[in-house]
């Protein structure tokens, strides 16, 4: 989906309501758990990678993002053709269901063909050398290889990838100069296959490994299909002679393919006799360069450029060299080394001088061949993001909360500025104090932690704030009091001083977890929402309940309108509701989503528009007074967990369940000052300020206590002309 297109979203009539498309400013998200999921386009500019159930095409020069949407679950395999015309992707599905494989047109960004011939999971997917065939390999529940004819868009054949007592196969590799040939590898299995399109069949030849038992994780062959190197989970490399004829038209090996040797690197350490140094946690990715050098990516984050020891090549010519076939020998000389901290799941060449490395920690690095200098290009969360927050009156940075950490991001460059680590715990809420000197966070271990925004140093921690975990958090403008909500249903108020943090009171009204808390602009009221179907408005001066709201839903979020007259709620009933603060009556009810729950809402600073997101993966911007959708944003690959306008109303940030972050250009209506902001702008005399506020309040969708539709309320306490 291109940025200029307006997507057709279920439940939204684009023509009738004149719904516009939110313009995407930047996107942060990369699924590093997909093996060989990072691919570089032959044009040297674009990279292709999965994010949840969508394929992302990113231009590394212009930072433009395009999305290919069509999968219903997480993408497990991805490849781009050597010509650059096609992209193919496969997904995971639930047990008992078929997993789909989709063929995309790269230039038109549209779906060309789709088939569902695999069960549960597509383990690997590749194009043949000349783009005639699309090859896909099923997972453990399937175990079959499927051959798809790209030009005729039809299935040719399928067969089991392993035979007899061999284990599961989960690696596919196409031959470089023989289009109908490819290889499969896995647990104790390594085979060469030939496609007969006329007979609609494929035949396989097993590679002789003698008594050696290995699990193959990756492959790389030279340009003439003479030698193939296979990285294994043991941490060594198998060198295979394929024994193809020198004529590329001959597709059958002249002799049985066999293993030449099993090698590892020459260690710089002094090792005991009879031992070798293996790559830790296995070899996950491998590249064979045009000069015959190998680039090895290991499970411990090591990336090394190695070359075969010339002395070994001399010994290979001797008859005694057969003794070297059945053991791992240190025959690779290390030229250069780099480290990317976590397992390397993808290695791909950008050009002759540089390459990309994708890691299990959802990071993408650029590595130069001459110096092996590592440059971080993309970093993102590795799991669900639970909250997003801007500092007050400072739109240049924002914070996100996830499992193990809090991250601070630059809004303009979409790059990570700071990472605050708290291992083994989940941050459910993050906010900034009004003076910007402290980051407050709520954690599932029941602790409220405060950090410095520049260094991430821990300032203080309120231990045992809630015995079942802290689920909601807010702070007064003065910074002297924090209000927190817990999974046990209690709302607690804390007195904050530089040296001590003291519990003021505990409010016990909710029967279920508190999902959201918000304080009004006057700092005398707070509203809390709970999954027990209740919202309670509290007097935080006297610490008593003012009003309670009940609904047949699980309230997910609640927010005050900037005028403090009404509150907005959303929940599992797919509704967005306007409630009167005075008496808790329902004023308006909107259809927030036609298919799923609305998880989050956020009001713009001027109160003219608000944004919502939910399980339908769609961002909606609403006109507050009109109650209609004005803009939508489609691009998320998972449920939308949080949305937030920047303080200046220029940006809208949304986060998802797959760890992705989208920065949108907010509508201009979110930046316009409204009448209730006149006091902060300092314009006009006191009479005009009061008059403007009264006119603004009178336009809000509400009613007076007298139930007279002609009555115009004059203030937030609901007094009418009568």
Query: Which residue do the tokens 């996100």 mark?
Result: 400
Q: How far is CA 70 from CA 137, 366, 633, 646, in A?
A: 20, 29, 16, 31
580 found inside a domain: no
Binned at pLDDT 50, 70 and 90, residue 697 comes out as very low
Condensed to tens digits (0 to 9), the pLDDT of residues 305-356 reads 999 887 655 555 554 444 444 478 888 999 999 999 899 999 999 988 899 9
Rounded to whole angstroms, the Cα distance separating 178 from 8 reads 43
| Cβ atoms within 10 Å of 458's Cβ, excluding its own | 12
pLDDT tens, 415-424?
899 999 999 9
> Cα-atom radius of gyration of the chain, to the nearest Å?
30
Q: What is the pLDDT of residue 69?
A: 84
In-domain check, residue 696: yes
Q: Please give the pLDDT value at position 166.
A: 83
Asked, for residue 698, whether it belongs to a domain, the answer is yes
Q: How far apart are the first and last CA of the chain?
A: 56
Whether residue 693 lies inside any domain: the answer is: yes
Q: Per residue in 138-186, pLDDT tens?
A: 998 888 999 999 998 899 999 998 877 788 999 999 999 999 999 999 9
List alpha helices for 140-232, DSSP H: none
The answer to whether position 153 is within a domain reads no
Residue-wise pLDDT for 33-50, tens only, equals: 899 999 999 998 999 999
* pLDDT 10s digits, 533-574: 999 999 999 999 999 999 999 999 999 999 889 999 999 999
Is the C-alpha dihedral spanning 553, 554, 560, 561 positive or negative?
A: negative
Question: How does residue 25 score in pLDDT terms, banded at 50, 70 and 90?
Answer: confident
Spell 540-553 as b/e; 16+ CB within 10 A means b: beeeeebbebebeb
Using the predicted structure, report yes or no on whether residue 688 has a pLDDT greater than 80.
no
Checking 18-22 for CB contacts under 8 A at 24+ apart, the result is 19/629, 19/630, 19/631, 19/632, 20/630, 20/631, 20/632, 20/667, 21/631, 21/632, 21/633, 21/634, 22/619, 22/621, 22/631, 22/632, 22/633, 22/652, 22/664, 22/665, 22/666, 22/667
What is the domain range of residue 697? 681-722
Name the percent of the chain lying above pLDDT 70: 88
State the residue for tokens 């009539």: 13
Looking at the structure of the chain, the number of domains it has is: 1
Please say whether the beta carbons of 387 and 398 come within 8 A: no
Q: In this predicted model, what pLDDT tens digit does every residue of 121-132 receive, in sequence order? A: 999 999 999 999
* Sole residue written with tokens 């919202």: 535
Tokens 């549960």 correspond to what residue?
120
Q: Is residue 695 part of a domain?
A: yes
Residue 233 belongs to some domain of the structure: no
Higher-confidence position of 29 and 452 = 452
* Of 688 and 532, the one with more pLDDT: 532
Strand-pairing partners, residue 448, are: 442, 462
Specify the DSSP element, H or E, that contains 312: helix 310-316
Residue 702 lies in a domain: yes
């Amino acid at each position: 989906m291109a940025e200029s297109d307006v997507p057709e979203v279920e439940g939204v009539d684009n023509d009738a309501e004149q719904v516009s498309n939110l313009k995407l400013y930047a996107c942060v998200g990369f699924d590093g758990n997909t093996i060989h999921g990072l691919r570089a386009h032959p044009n040297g500019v674009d990279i292709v990678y999965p994010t949840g159930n969508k394929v992302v095409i990113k231009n590394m020069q212009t930072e433009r993002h395009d999305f290919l949407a069509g999968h219903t679950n997480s993408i497990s395999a991805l490849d781009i053709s050597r010509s650059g015309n096609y992209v193919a992707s496969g997904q995971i599905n639930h047990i008992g269901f078929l997993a789909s494989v989709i063929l995309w047109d790269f230039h038109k960004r549209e779906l060309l063909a789709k088939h569902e011939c695999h069960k549960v999971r597509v383990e690997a997917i590749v194009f043949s050398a000349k783009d005639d065939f699309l090859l896909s390999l099923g997972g453990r529940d399937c175990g079959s290889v499927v051959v798809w004819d790209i030009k005729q868009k039809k299935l040719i054949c399928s067969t089991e990838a392993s035979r007899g007592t061999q284990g599961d196969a989960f690696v596919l590799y196409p031959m470089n100069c023989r289009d109908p040939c490819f290889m499969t590898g896995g647990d104790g299995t390594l085979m060469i296959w030939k496609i007969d399109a006329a007979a609609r069949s494929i035949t396989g030849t097993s590679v002789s490994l003698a008594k050696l038992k290995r699990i193959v994780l990756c492959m790389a062959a030279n340009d003439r299909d003479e030698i193939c190197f296979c990285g294994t989970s043991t941490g060594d490399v198998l060198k295979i002679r394929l024994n193809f004829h020198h004529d590329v038209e001959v597709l059958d090996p002249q002799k049985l393919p066999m293993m030449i040797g099993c090698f590892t690197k020459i260690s710089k350490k002094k090792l005991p006799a009879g031992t070798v140094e293996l790559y830790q946690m296995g070899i996950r990715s491998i590249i064979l360069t045009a000069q015959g050098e190998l680039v090895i990516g290991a499970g411990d984050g090591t990336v090394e450029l190695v070359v075969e020891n010339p002395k070994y090549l001399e010994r290979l010519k001797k008859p005694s060299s057969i003794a070297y076939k059945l053991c791992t020998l240190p025959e690779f000389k290390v030229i250069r080394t780099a480290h990317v901290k976590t397992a390397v799941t993808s290695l791909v060449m950008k050009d002759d001088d540089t390459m990309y490395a994708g890691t299990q920690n959802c990071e993408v690095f650029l590595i130069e061949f001459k110096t092996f200098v590592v440059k971080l290009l993309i970093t993102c969360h590795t799991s669900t993001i639970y909250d997003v927050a801007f500092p007050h009156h400072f739109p240049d940075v924002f914070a996100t909360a996830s499992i193990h950490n809090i991250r601070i991001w630059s809004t303009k460059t979409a790059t990570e500025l700071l990472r605050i680590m708290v291992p083994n715990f989940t941050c459910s809420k993050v906010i900034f104090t009004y003076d910007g000197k402290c980051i407050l966070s709520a954690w599932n271990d029941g602790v409220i932690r405060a950090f410095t925004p520049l260094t991430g140093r821990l300032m203080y921690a309120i231990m045992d704030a809630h015995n079942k975990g802290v689920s909601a958090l807010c702070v007064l403008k003065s910074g002297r009091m924090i209000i927190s909500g817990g999974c046990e249903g209690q709302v607690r108020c804390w007195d904050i001083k530089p040296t001590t943090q003291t519990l003021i009171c505990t409010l016990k009204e909710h029967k279920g977890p508190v999902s959201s808390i918000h304080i009004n602009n006057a700092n005398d009221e707070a509203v809390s929402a709970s999954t027990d179907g209740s919202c309670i408005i509290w007097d935080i001066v006297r610490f008593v309940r003012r009003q309670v709201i009940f609904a047949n839903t699980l309230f997910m979020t609640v927010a005050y309108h900037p005028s403090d007259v009404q509150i907005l709620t959303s929940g599992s009933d797919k509704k967005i509701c306007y409630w009167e603060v005075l008496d808790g009556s329902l004023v308006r009810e909107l259809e927030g989503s036609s298919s799923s729950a609305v998880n989050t809402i956020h009001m713009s600073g001027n109160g003219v528009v608000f944004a919502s997101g939910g399980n339908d993966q769609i961002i909606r911007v609403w006109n507050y007074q009109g109650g209609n959708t004005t803009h939508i944003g489609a691009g998320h690959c998972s449920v939308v967990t949080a949305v937030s306008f920047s303080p200046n109303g220029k940006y809208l940030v949304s986060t998802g369940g797959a760890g992705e972050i989208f920065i949108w250009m907010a509508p201009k209506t979110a930046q316009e000052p409204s009448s209730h902001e006149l006091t902060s702008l300092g314009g006009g005399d006191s009479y005009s300020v009061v008059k403007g506020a009264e006119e603004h309040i009178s336009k809000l969708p509400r009613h007076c206590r007298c139930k007279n539709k002609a009555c115009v309320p004059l203030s937030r306490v609901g007094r009418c002309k009568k």
